[in-house]
């Protein structure tokens, strides 16, 4: 498999259209992660079905979040996307998140060419409030059945805040 971080970059961050690699399809309870050292997707663990991902989950190439992993993305689509593909995605916001005391933000995106929805999703405010609640619940509770670990959705940020998080993560990537 190709090393996504060598082939793809983050995309046009200033223009709000970025590249995102899919790790976990929406509805899956398999925690699949990009193994940067081996250049392949790897099954890290199987979560309880109760905590299947409410959205597609992936990462933005050539970024590093404060937790040392690529910056995560939540990809909103009507159907699950397969592991290992990449999409051009429109940035609509960011979920500010802390996992076991470490910043682990999630950039929220939709496909850049979202014709099925008439390209109507442009900000977090365009998402159904119930979906926002489901995402928050998932990330606030997915470690509840484990013996250790705490998670907290701290807040939601707009497009400009999301772009700033991406740029900070790009700088971390360059310094590694």
31 assigned binding-site residue: yes
Task: Check the annotation: does 100 bind a ligand.
Answer: no
pLDDT at 113: 87
Q: What is the pLDDT of residues 15-59, one digit of tens each?
A: 999 999 999 999 999 999 999 899 999 999 999 898 999 999 999
Distances (CA, A) of 65 to 82, 105, 108, 145, 165: 23, 7, 15, 26, 8
Mean pLDDT of the residues in the chain: 92
Q: What is the CATH number of the domain that holds 165?
A: 3.90.80.10
User: Structure pTM?
Assistant: 0.94
CA triple 152-134-61, angle to 5 deg: 65
| 128 CB neighbour count, 10 Å cutoff | 9
**DSSP output for 94-138:** EEEEEETTEE--EEEEEESS-GGGTT---SGGGS-HHHHHHHHHH
Per the structure, the count of domains in the chain is 1
Residue 132 burial by CB count (10 A; 0-12/13-18/19+): exposed, middle or buried?
middle
The pLDDT assigned to 146 comes to 77
Range of the domain at 83: 4-175
User: How far is residue 76's CA from residue 111's CA, in Å, rounded to a whole number?
Assistant: 8
Q: Is 72 annotated as a binding residue?
A: yes
Q: Does the pLDDT at position 2 exceed 70? A: no
Secondary element (H or E) of residue 67: none
CA angle centred on 103, ends 45 and 143, rounded to 5°? 35
What local confidence, expressed as pLDDT, does residue 117 receive? 62
Q: Is 144 annotated as a binding residue?
A: no
Are 21 and 7 spatial neighbours (Cβ–Cβ below 8 Å)? no
Q: 67 labelled as ligand-binding? A: yes
* Lowest-confidence pick of 75-79, 99-103, 146-150: 146-150
Distances (CA, A) of 144 to 4, 136, 137, 158: 32, 14, 11, 28
pLDDT tier for residue 143 given thresholds of 50, 70 and 90: confident
Q: In this predicted structure, what is the pLDDT of residue 1? A: 53
Across the chain, which distance is largest between two alpha carbons, in Å? 44
Give the mean pLDDT of 170-176. Answer: 94
CA 38 distance to own-chain centroid: 21
């Amino acid at each position: 498999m190709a090393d996504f971080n060598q082939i793809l970059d983050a995309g046009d961050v200033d223009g709000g259209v970025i590249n995102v690699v899919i790790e976990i399809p929406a509805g899956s309870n398999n925690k699949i992660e990009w193994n940067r050292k081996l250049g392949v997707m790897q099954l890290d663990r199987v979560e309880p079905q109760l905590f299947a991902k409410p959205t597609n989950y992936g990462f933005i190439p050539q970024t590093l979040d404060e937790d040392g992993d690529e910056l995560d993305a939540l990809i909103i689509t009507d159907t699950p996307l397969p592991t290992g593909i990449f999409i051009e995605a429109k940035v609509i916001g960011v979920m500010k998140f802390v996992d076991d005391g470490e910043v682990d933000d999630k950039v929220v995106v939709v496909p850049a060419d979202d014709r099925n929805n008439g390209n109507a999703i442009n900000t977090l405010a365009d998402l159904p409030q119930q979906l926002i609640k489901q995402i928050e619940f998932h990330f606030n509770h997915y470690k509840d059945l484990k013996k250790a670990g705490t998670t907290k959705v701290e807040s939601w940020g707009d497009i400009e805040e999301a772009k700033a998080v991406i740029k900070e993560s790009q700088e971390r990537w360059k310094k590694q």
